[in-house]
Structure 1
């Protein structure tokens, strides 16, 4: 496959581009938390163990910039903001589920047990 340019960066495969959109420690957990319904910032924070406010904020902005999530701001006092998946990110859920299944297979194959989240 030929390399290609997207947003000023050279990619060598579509998989690499995919991982730029959903890869990293926090993007997939954020997308999975939003898979069933819209959530507010505090709800997202409570649903994702170990994420800091700084990281959640930056990852939400990055996912929004890439068209993976949208936010709706309600003009209320205090202001309310809902985050939700876009059609693009809804397609990514199947990919994330497949990666999860493969990761679970690898864990089983290598005798790795998961730690319980606190």
Structure 2
């Protein structure tokens, strides 16, 4: 019984001090999280379009640009983005890698690229 009294007193104090119940704070928090998700999705969407436009217009992409685009795409997809963003990403993956030179000096780069491609193919 004493615990219930303490909870009631704390809840009453929260309402008295803030004008909002504890459940109201949860609702506000959930709304804020949704807004932050939407803002992140919009930012990632814009990055995919801007970067994709540059690479597609140029007709090639560097390995580091492709890697960066991969991270942007994964975050965008993870937040629920898809549609034309996916088409842009796939089109960029089909572009020629402009800084790729298969020789001994790039052996490490080739290994990293192969690992990344294996993960993308899964």
The structure whose residues are more often helix, as a share, is 2
**TM-score, normalised with respect to structure 2:** 0.30
Answer with 1 or 2: which has the greater Rg.
Answer: 2
Instruction: Tell me the TM-score normalised to structure 1 length.
Output: 0.31
- Normalized per residue, the structure richer in strand is 1
